[in-house]
């Protein structure tokens, strides 16, 4: 893959991402050696953060106890982000820098996983720039700001595709009062990096960088499709537990096959059109009926 073609401006990136061959390669998984750079270029830098600016911000570490606690819980099996590990201070620095850069948002649980994945694939300054711009995307901003009304509209849109793709499982979830917020919030907050095996999560990130927020909900439906038969045999508690941490032996090709069989078209409208219609109609009452009391409070 010729990265020089991607870096030649926004229009060139859009043309390259739109070619059939590149879209196929993107779906099959980006090469690890260029993955971080391609992510960074695809996410962009609309905030216009400079490398020097990112570095100076990174020196202003936050002492928030929540950051320290979350770092210890970030990919614990890798033993590289925990205290004494080679990436502990770097992860703390990036997260602390973000709380200084966006005090209006601060630190929210789940951010540590996103930052950690970027640190594994990018140098410190670039990781911070990409992290800040990624969290500035509309879907991520809605969730990290805990914009209840907007989150409910995302859930409403998701359930439209859920019911059309998997009507049997959708009915089972409704019968068990299992609403999207109980699993989607964690998935979106961490871009699946907490629930999926790391190598599978990176493949999900590849497609997210290509297709944007639609891919996050397509991934969610792919997971539900993949484990439909298993989930149909479970009750509320076991479903919630299962979806929080998916099987470690989950293979990327198996998930991507399930995602390929997921249709993101409803009544001839794609995700963006459905979400736009939900936003326009202000169908918040219907969303509230199917959301948890915790989210409505």
CATH of the domain at 114: 1.10.8.270
Q: What is the per-residue pLDDT for 91?
A: 95
| 116 and 219 in a common domain | no
| Residue 268 located in a structural domain | yes
**pLDDT at residue 283, as a whole number:** 52
Full domain range(s) for residue 45: 31-136
Instruction: At 113, list the tokens.
Output: 């996983």
User: Integer distance in angstroms from the first to the last C-alpha of the chain?
Assistant: 48
Number of neighbours of residue 270 by Cβ within 10 angstroms: 12
Read off the pTM. 0.86
**Position 186 in a domain:** yes
- Is residue 265 situated within a structural domain? yes
Is position 188 within any domain? yes
Does 261 lie in the same domain as 172?
yes
- Give the chain as a DSSP string: --HHHHTS-HHHHHHHHHSHHHHHHHHH---HHHHHHHHHHHH--TT---HHHHHHHHTS----HHHHHHHHTSSGGG-SSSTTSTTHHHHHHHHHHHHHH-TTT---TTHHHHHHHHHHHS-HHHHHHHHHHHHTSHHHHHHHTT-HHHHHHHHHHHHHHHHHH-HHHHHHHHHTT--THHHHHHHHHHTTTTTS-HHHHHHHHHHHHHHTHHHHHHHHHHHHHHTHHHHHT--HHHHHHHHHS--TT--HHHHHHHHHT---EETTEEHHHHHHHHHHHT-HHHHHHTS-HHHH-
Inter-residue contact 242 to 231 (CB < 8 Å):
yes
Cα-only R_g, the chain: 19
Q: Are both 260 and 177 inside the same structural domain?
A: yes
Residues 217 and 102 in one domain: no
Stretches in the chain below the pLDDT threshold 70: 1-18, 53-64, 282-297
> Given this model, what pLDDT does residue 140 score?
96
* Same structural domain, 151 and 290: yes
- One domain for residues 100 and 196: no
Q: Are residues 154 and 198 in the same domain?
A: yes
Q: How far apart (Å, rounded) are the C-alpha atoms in residues 71 and 88?
A: 7
Domain co-membership, 131 together with 148: no
Tell me: do 223 and 201 sit in the same domain. Answer: yes
Whether residues 160 and 53 share a domain: the answer is no
Q: What is the CATH number of the domain that holds 207?
A: 1.10.472.80
């Amino acid at each position: 893959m010729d990265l020089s073609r991607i870096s030649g401006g926004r229009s060139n990136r859009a043309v390259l991402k739109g070619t059939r061959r590149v879209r196929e390669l993107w779906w099959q998984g980006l090469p690890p050696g260029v993955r971080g750079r391609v992510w960074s270029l695809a996410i962009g830098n609309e905030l216009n953060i400079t490398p020097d600016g990112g570095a100076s911000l990174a020196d202003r570490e936050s002492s928030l106890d929540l950051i320290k606690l979350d770092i210890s819980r970030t990919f614990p099996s890798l033993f590289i982000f925990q205290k004494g590990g080679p990436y502990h201070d770097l992860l703390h620095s990036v997260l602390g820098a973000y709380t200084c850069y966006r005090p209006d948002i601060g630190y929210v649980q789940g951010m540590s996983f996103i930052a950690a994945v970027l640190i594994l694939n990018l140098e410190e300054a670039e990781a911070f720039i990409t992290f800040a711009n990624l969290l500035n995307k509309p879907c991520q901003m809605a969730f990290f700001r805990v914009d209840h009304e907007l989150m409910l509209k995302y859930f409403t849109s998701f359930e439209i595709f859920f019911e059309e793709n998997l009507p049997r499982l959708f009915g089972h979830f409704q019968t068990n009062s299992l609403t999207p917020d109980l699993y989607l919030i964690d998935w979106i907050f961490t871009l699946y990096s907490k629930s999926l095996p790391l190598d599978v999560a990176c493949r999900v990130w590849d497609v997210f960088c290509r297709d944007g927020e639609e891919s996050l909900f397509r991934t969610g439906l792919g997971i539900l499709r993949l484990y439909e038969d298993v989930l149909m045999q479970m009750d509320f508690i076991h479903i919630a537990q299962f979806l929080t941490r998916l099987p470690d032996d989950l293979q990327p090709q198996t998930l991507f096959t399930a995602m390929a069989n997921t249709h993101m078209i409803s009544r001839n409208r794609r995700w963006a059109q459905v979400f736009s219609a939900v936003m326009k109609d202000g169908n918040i009452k219907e969303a509230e009926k199917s959301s948890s009391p915790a989210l409505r409070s």
